[in-house]
Amino acid sequence: MSPENHKALQKQIPDINGTSTGKFSPFTQVIDSIYDLLDKKRYRYSVYAALVITAVIIPTFASNYVLEVFTNAFFYIVLCLGLNIVVGYAGLLDLGYAAFFAVGAYTTGILTSHFGMNFWLTIPFSILFSIMAGVIIGGPTLRLRSDYLAIVTLGFGEITRIAARNLEITGGASGLIGIDRPSLFGLKLYQIHHFYFIFFVLVILAIFVSYRLYHSRLGRAWEYIREDEDAAEAMGIDRVRYKLYAYILGAIFGGIAGSFFAVKMTAISPETFLFTQSAMILLAVVLGGMGKIQGVIVGALLLVIFPEVFRNIGDTRMLFFGIVLLIIMIFRPQGIWPDRRS
């Protein structure tokens, strides 16, 4: 093979980071340049501070519609960060994550509407029942791998939704309505900007916890399990126990988000927790970059904001959304902002 042909072939071969060095290199080079820039602490913290300040001042001039969109985006960021622990950190495929979200929402809904409990007191119960759900699905099934694990988690998600649809305490197919709005320091939380700031605080807490987990011994054990379970077990890592930890922590994220979702909407129904919900959350994690906190956030924002930007063109916007997702997955297979942890 001539040197010219050899160079031409090299340009078409994806590099180790999952990016192409072919004719679409300007696209990937721009993303990688931003990636490298934000990897420098002096720039990264400045950008983060600017983003936080921007998020704080948005409610001073934005309409209720814009605040609603951003609130939903914050909500999905929390869910995606929770699923990222399972999928991105530990390398497990979960197709029933909406079940944990449902457990938290129904726990808060039942305790507030049926038993008159204060919303803030329901959060520990949501965490407890989410942990129980994580153990129930994780304990017997985490010895499974790949497709088998995905099928079991999918079944768990559907079982949870069907149970909620048929139990009397959950309101059956009609769901729960009239869930009381919470109060904080005597202030009744009912306006959209109230929940905007609440979910923004949840995002900050979720990012902090995810970051600490990522750089902990637990995070390193998850990384070894994700890369090679057999090698990790040979090194003395109890892969079943650590995988169970991932499921439990991911379930806690979903349960807390579900609790706040229930009081924001004041009504929940089984149709909120369809398989498509789990699929969309997983899509955001994969699209943004599994294992990378910033990537997951970008994926969640894209998932929520992109369809809203093109809402004026009607249902056709989902066609354009699908085309954009397809292009990204073809030319950026590891996600917009993948993890480069060595």
**What's residue 13's pLDDT?**
37
pTM of this prediction?
A: 0.87
Q: If we measure between CA atoms, which residue out of 288, 333, 338, 331 comes closest to residue 24? A: 331
pLDDT at res. 81: 95
What confidence score (pLDDT) does residue 314 get?
A: 66
**Cβ proximity of 281 and 80 under 8 Å:** yes
Q: Is 59 left (phi over 0), alpha (psi -120 to 50) or beta?
A: alpha
> Would you state the structure tokens that stand for residue 240, as one six-digit string?
């079943």
Divide the 342 residues of the chain into consecutive groups of 10 and give the mean pLDDT of each group.
Answer: 42 40 55 71 80 92 92 95 93 88 94 90 95 84 72 87 91 88 87 94 96 92 88 86 91 95 92 88 89 90 84 72 78 76 50
Radius of gyration of the chain (CA): 21
CA distance 5 to 207: 47
Phi-psi region of 189 (alpha: psi -120 to 50; beta: other; left: phi over 0): beta
Per-position b or e across 35-58, b if 16+ CB within 10 A of its CB: beebeeeeeeeeeeeeeeeebeee
Q: By CB neighbour count within 10 A (0-12 exposed, 13-18 middle, 19+ buried), where does 251 fall?
A: buried
Nearest alpha carbon to residue 120 among 200, 71, 181: 181
Residue 23's pLDDT is what?
A: 43
Q: What element of type H or E holds 279?
A: helix 275-288
pLDDT at 77 (0 to 100): 96
* pLDDT on residue 10: 38
107's tokens: 């726990």
pLDDT confidence of residue 340: 65
Beta partners for 268? 176
